[in-house]
Amino acid sequence: MKLPVDFRLLKERYLGEASRKPWVAEKRLAELAPFLPPDTRDIVRHAVTSLMAYQDPDYALVYLNRVGRYAGSDKAPCAFLASVASRMEERMRYADPPSIAQAALADGGEGSVSPTRRVSFCLCDFAGMLPPNAADTALQVMAYLRLSQRAVVLKFSSQAGWKRHWTEAWALLRYARTYSRRAKTENAWVERWLHMIDRVRASQPEAVMGMVQTADIISGSGADYHRGIANWNVIVDCLVKPVCDGAIAPIDLAAALRVVLHAAADRPEPLVLQGQIDRLIASQPLQLQTA
């Protein structure tokens, strides 16, 4: 039977070989490097290496193309690029079971013994590892049964024996990550974050760093991660976007973001954070400037 596509391409995609060789990402990095400040250049170079290890050269190339929106021969110098580059790399290396397994195996390299890693995930995180259609069905069932936020603790270890085999099996799932619902969701989040940075830059440039720093409220895994995502959406939908759209009276967005990010650091319930934002918007601009 003749396959409709080259077997080599199937092998590259499904058996773990990179669909592009590292030199493709390295060439793109070399093209961008002359237009990056020294501190940003180091951040981007480190990010390319870590993203290739996390996923593959294609993934690092996506990162570089995003950085390229702010750096190039036809681009004005971008003062906040270093902050964007470091936070974008962190979000693109989001914590999922395969990445934690990879880290556990890396810690145990060269014969050293690493402690067992115990990481909490929600059941919906496992559904998110499935392809979009299957994941959506699984998430609907979990929501109906009220199991979406049920916590599950996974243990990963590089110690010889079944523990290492268990960890290696989870690490292999990184090759399916690209096709998962979670990957598509994370990609959409990064794109929206960059889009809102551009909108804030156009409307209130002094608030750009505040918008960049909103990425800091999203971290970790399990319940903390989902709370951070929910709060970020509240900040954008209830504060940043209405200001950029002109849907509310003009306010000092930079000052407002400082207040809101300070409140979000305590990981409040999204409804609580929304109430704080509503009260903040209702206050006078003069009061915001002194917040």
1 and 56, same domain (yes or no): yes
Record the pTM: 0.85
36, 58, 93 - which closes a domain: 93
179, 199, 231 - which closes a domain: 179
Domain count, the chain: 3
Bridge partner residues of 151 (DSSP): 122
Tell me the C-alpha distance between 215 and 46, whole Å.
19
Q: Do residues 157 and 116 touch, judged by C-beta distance below 8 A?
A: yes
Closest CA to 159 of 96, 117, 100, 97: 117
What is the CB neighbour count within 10 angstroms for residue 54?
Answer: 20
279 and 263, same domain (yes or no): yes
Domain that holds residue 256: 180-291
What is the CB neighbour count within 10 angstroms for residue 177?
Answer: 19
Q: What is the mean pLDDT of the chain?
A: 87
111 and 190, same domain (yes or no): no
**97-107 and 162-172 helices, crossing angle to 10°:** 130
pLDDT tens per residue, range 80-109: 999 999 999 999 999 999 999 999 988 866
Q: Where are the alpha helices (DSSP H) in the chain?
A: 7-14, 22-32, 38-54, 57-67, 81-92, 97-107, 123-127, 132-145, 162-172, 181-203, 208-213, 222-235, 241-245, 253-264, 270-282, 285-289
Tell me the C-alpha distance between 257 and 232, whole Å.
11
50, 77, 93 - which closes a domain: 93
157 and 243, same domain (yes or no): no
Q: Once rounded to an integer, what is the mean pLDDT over residues 179-188?
A: 94
222 and 196, same domain (yes or no): yes
192 and 278, same domain (yes or no): yes
Q: What pLDDT does residue 290 have?
A: 43
Q: What pLDDT does residue 128 have?
A: 92
pLDDT tens per residue, range 3-47: 454 545 545 555 444 445 788 888 999 999 999 999 999 999 999
218 and 173, same domain (yes or no): no
27 and 85, same domain (yes or no): yes
143 and 198, same domain (yes or no): no
Tell me the C-alpha distance between 35 and 27, whole Å.
14
145 and 193, same domain (yes or no): no
Predicted confidence band of residue 115 (pLDDT cuts 50, 70, 90):
confident
193 and 282, same domain (yes or no): yes
Bridge partner residues of 236 (DSSP): none
113 and 76, same domain (yes or no): no
